């Protein structure tokens, strides 16, 4: 099958979060299954570090009566040779950030992604791409579903193209003032509560949900959660109306990048069989790097993520203050950036308890790998989590996840209880409430097992490290769905 994946970020070219990991890894996995895949993303400043070639093809798009010109560059995902088309318009995309800088969203985000949306559909014609399915991702690409249905489906070469829309995080909906409708080039009649409008605003995520042939989200449990309140963030009714074409497919991970046997960011490597010595060496390296006392016997708890309300770092901060004040022998290593208030709270915490807490406020893929390898426990107190990737990385590195029982965390971490202990299927600890009692319970459970039941701990590590978290299975499920939505597509 011929698949065009359109996204606003894809690793390693441009990344702010898990969306990029998925859009970097899924094309490779689909290509390995024998599909003909191409990826298309904006040519941000970060993409310019990678070698690419101009295609010489120009595109002209009319946005609110103005002619806007751009072009396409082309590069390849290394090794597997999947082509990546980069939509180039320096005014829109050659900036410090992808969507914002200094925590301020770019004022022209709607216009930037309207341009990108037209550029994706025009690429099919201008670059002569063979496409059976366009796979869209998140609000930045939602308009493409409407444009395909309303404008393009009647054009030669577009008649048979089906559209799949994946929601990676329903909290981000691409909401703009009603006046932004003029940028889309679509008739005002589509600005109604059944299609593109939501509470008097243009909503591009809703647009994607309404106009696509099929919808997926990144785990089966999250697919259930978003069809009711509060999980649906106001779009639960829209999703319930489309429930028959809504599926949950759990994300995989790039098992080449995230492999404790070969990880290029680690000085010491290990397998499931050598994890005991291997993880200790990684722990000592991490302590060294983070200026913590070098001790193999102390439990190290790691956290990595965006500093937002969603990720629950505020709960972790409260927990760490309590544990440190009580003199508990634990080391904490935190990596993240985002909310400036949280950033300051983390810095204060680290300066007050410098022997127990190390904090790094920045984005560092290298340090993320080192924390995940060198920690004993990985904490994810997310208030909601569509799928979550860092717990999957932790599992692969034998780092036991302690997670709030929400979204994809429920699908990917198997809680320790008498049954799973006996069946040797437990891989982590789930706690029910995202509050201080919940997180304290979860961490205390984990510390108790770590300190007092080493055999259970070792078994959990072994089970976790032997799980198949690769993209292979999930890519197969996407391929099945592509087929299904093509079959079910209404005739023009």
Q: Which residues bind ligand ADP (CB under 6 A)?
A: 17-19, 21, 169, 304-306, 335-337, 363-365, 368, 387-390
Handedness of CA 95, 101, 105, 107 (dihedral sign): negative
Output 70 or 408, the one with its CB closest to ligand ADP: 408
Tokens of 125: 């014609």
Distance CA 412, CA 394 (A): 11
Closer residue to ligand ADP in complex, CB, 36/308: 308
CB of 388 to ligand ADP, least distance (A): 5
Question: What is d(CA 247, CA 394) in angstroms, rounded to the nearest whole number?
Answer: 26
Compare residues 32 and 337 and give the one whose CB is closer to ligand ADP.
337
Nearest to ligand ADP of 55, 364 (CB atom): 364
Nearest approach, Cβ of 318 to ligand ADP (angstroms)? 20
**Radius of gyration (C-alpha) of the chain in whole angstroms:** 23
**Pick 21 or 415: Cβ nearer ligand ADP:** 21
Q: In the complex with ligand ADP, which residue's Cβ is closer, 213 or 385?
A: 385
Among residues 122 and 254, whose Cβ is nearest to ligand ADP?
Answer: 254
Task: Answer positive or negative: Cα dihedral of 455, 460, 461, 466.
Answer: positive
Find the shortest distance in angstroms from Cβ 42 to ligand ADP.
18
CB of 19 or CB of 37, closer to ligand ADP: 19
User: What is the nearest approach in angstroms of ligand ADP to the Cβ of residue 81?
Assistant: 24
What residues pair up with 301 in beta bridges, in sequence order? 332, 377
129 burial via Cβ count (<10 Å: 0-12, 13-18, 19+): middle
Do β-strands 2-6 and 133-137 pair in parallel, antiparallel, or remain unpaired?
parallel
Tokens of 42: 């904006």
Phi, psi angle pair for 179, to nearest 5° = -60, -20
Smallest gap from Cβ 149 to ligand ADP, in A, equals 28
Question: Between residues 109 and 390, which has the closer beta carbon with respect to ligand ADP?
Answer: 390
Strand stretches in 122-177, DSSP E:
133-137, 162-167, 175-177
3-state helix, strand, coil in the chain (%, to 5): 40, 20, 35
As measured in angstroms, the least distance from the Cβ of 98 to ligand ADP is 13
Most distant pair of Cα atoms in the chain: their distance: 70
d(C-alpha 367, C-alpha 283), whole Å: 12
Closest residue to ligand ADP: CB criterion:
18
Nearest-approach distance from CB 139 to ligand ADP, in angstroms: 14
As measured in angstroms, the least distance from the Cβ of 170 to ligand ADP is 12
Residue among 322, 378, 374 nearest 353 (CA):
322
- Which two structure tokens, joined as six digits, stand for 83? 């082509």
Min. distance of Cβ 234 from ligand ADP in angstroms?
19
Count of Cβ atoms closer than 10 Å to residue 126 Cβ: 15
């Amino acid at each position: 099958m011929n698949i065009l994946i359109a996204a606003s970020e894809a690793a390693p070219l441009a990344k702010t979060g898990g969306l990029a990991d998925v859009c970097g890894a899924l094309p490779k996995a689909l290509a390995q299954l024998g599909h003909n895949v191409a990826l298309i993303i904006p040519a941000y400043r970060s993409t310019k570090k990678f070698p690419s070639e101009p295609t010489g093809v120009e595109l002209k798009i009319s946005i609110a009566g103005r002619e806007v010109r751009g072009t396409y560059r082309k590069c390849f995902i290394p090794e597997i040779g999947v082509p990546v088309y980069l939509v180039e318009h320096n005014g829109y995309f050659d900036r410090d950030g992808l969507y914002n800088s200094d925590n301020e969203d770019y004022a022209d985000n709607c216009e930037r992604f309207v341009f990108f949306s037209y550029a994706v559909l025009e690429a099919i014609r201008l670059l002569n791409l063979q496409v059976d399915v366009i796979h869209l991702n998140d609000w930045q690409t939602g308009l493409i579903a409407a444009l395909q249905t309303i404008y393009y489906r009647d054009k030669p070469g577009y008649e048979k193209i089906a559209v799949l829309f994946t929601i990676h995080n329903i909290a981000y909906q691409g909401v703009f003032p009603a006046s932004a409708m003029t940028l889309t080039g679509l008739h005002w009649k589509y600005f109604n509560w059944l299609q593109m409008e939501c509470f008097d605003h243009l909503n591009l995520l809703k647009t994607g949900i309404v106009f696509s042939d099929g919808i997926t989200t990144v785990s089966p449990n999250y697919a259930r959660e978003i069809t009711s309140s509060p999980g649906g963030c106001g779009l639960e009714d829209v999703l319930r109306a489309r429930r028959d074409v809504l599926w949950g497919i759990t994300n995989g991970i790039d098992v080449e990048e995230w492999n404790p046997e070969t990880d290029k960011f680690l000085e010491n490597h290990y397998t499931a069989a050598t994890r005991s010595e291997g993880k200790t060496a990684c722990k000592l390296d991490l302590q060294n790097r983070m200026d913590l006392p070098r001790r193999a016997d102390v439990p190290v708890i790691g956290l990595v993520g965006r500093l937002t309300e969603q990720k629950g770092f505020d709960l972790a901060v409260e927990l760490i203050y309590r544990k440190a004040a009580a003199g508990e022998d634990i080391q904490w290593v935190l990596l993240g950036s985002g909310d400036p208030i949280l950033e300051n709270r983390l810095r204060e915490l680290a300066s007050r308890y410098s022997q127990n807490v190390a904090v790094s406020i920045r984005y560092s893929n290298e340090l993320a790998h080192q924390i995940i390898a060198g920690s004993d426990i990985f904490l994810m107190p997310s208030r909601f989590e569509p799928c979550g990737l860092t717990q999957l990385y932790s599992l692969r590195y034998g780092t036991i996840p302690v997670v709030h029982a929400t979204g994809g965390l429920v699908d990917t971490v198997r809680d320790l209880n008498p049954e799973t202990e006996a069946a040797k299927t437990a891989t982590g600890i789930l706690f029910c409430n995202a509050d201080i009692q919940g997180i304290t319970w979860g961490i205390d459970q984990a510390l108790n097992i770590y300190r007092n039941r080493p055999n259970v701990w070792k078994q959990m590590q072994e089970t976790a490290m032997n799980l198949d978290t690769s993209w292979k299975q999930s890519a197969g499920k996407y391929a099945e769905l592509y087929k299904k939505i093509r079959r079910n597509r209404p005739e023009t």
